[in-house]
Amino acid sequence: MNAITPSRWAIFRREEHWALTPMGWTIVICGMVGLFLFLGAAVHPFLALTDPIDADVLVVEGWLPDYALAGAVKEFHSRPYSCVITTGGPVDVGENLTTYKTYAALCAATLARLGVDSTRIIAVSSPRLQVDRTFASAIALKRWLKISGTKIRAINLYSLGVHTRRSRLLFQRALGVSVPVGCIAARDASYDPAYWWKYSDGVEGVIFESVGYLYVKLLFPLGAEHDIDAE
């Protein structure tokens, strides 16, 4: 059969093309489901990283909920830490009612109430920022170490759930290679980590922290320390 040659003024033309068969669609759909299940099982443990090292200082992010801070107390007593340093900026809610104006100070008081010797707790506060608050806390810690003349060998960073890997990356960037940073992820009690995709908090946290980690890893601007200084 002779092929039909379209006119030079034609708007449409007839062509042969490949298309998936029902079996092909079945294979594609099964592959996508398998990929989703694999990512669902792998992404949460990747972000909620627990990788402690031989450190002499425990650093606790001050915004953590009280149940996570109870875990920080156990961690502090389980290793020969010389001290625990709390970080965080101004309190967002209840500032007018509390004597603790920063999360660092509030966390320090909570740890003392939960059984940590208050003489071994140091609160290092950071400025009020709308973005890069974790990095600001890390820079505040770096400045305090320099100003106080405190020498530390390494730190373990105590954080919450899927925020942990990004926090460690930011603290490591701020402190430099001379101060290794390990990390411990407290379990986020707002959802079941094994089925995070069934909970709005889980989905929101995993998506936000995945994007945040990639941003810090690939696009976080050089000289961000100076932007913190300018605030």
- What gap in Å lies between CA 12 and CA 107, rounded to an integer? 70
Is pLDDT of 190 > 90?
Answer: yes
Vertex 161, ends 225 and 54: CA angle to 5°?
70
Is pLDDT of 226 > 50?
Answer: no
Instruction: Tell me the range of 3-12, 27-36, 37-46, 209-218 where mean pLDDT is highest.
Output: 209-218
Q: How confident is the model at residue 46 (pLDDT cuts 50, 70, 90)?
A: very high
Which residues fall within 8 angstroms of residue 103, CB to CB, at 6 or more apart? 61, 62, 63, 86, 87, 88, 89, 90, 91, 125
Q: Give me the pLDDT at residue 160, please.
A: 97
Indicate the residue type of 65. P
Give the β-pairing of 57-61 and 121-125.
unpaired
Look at domain 46-230 and name its CATH class: alpha beta
Which of 17, 15, 98, 111 shows the shortest CA–CA distance to 70?
111
Q: What is the pTM of this model?
A: 0.80
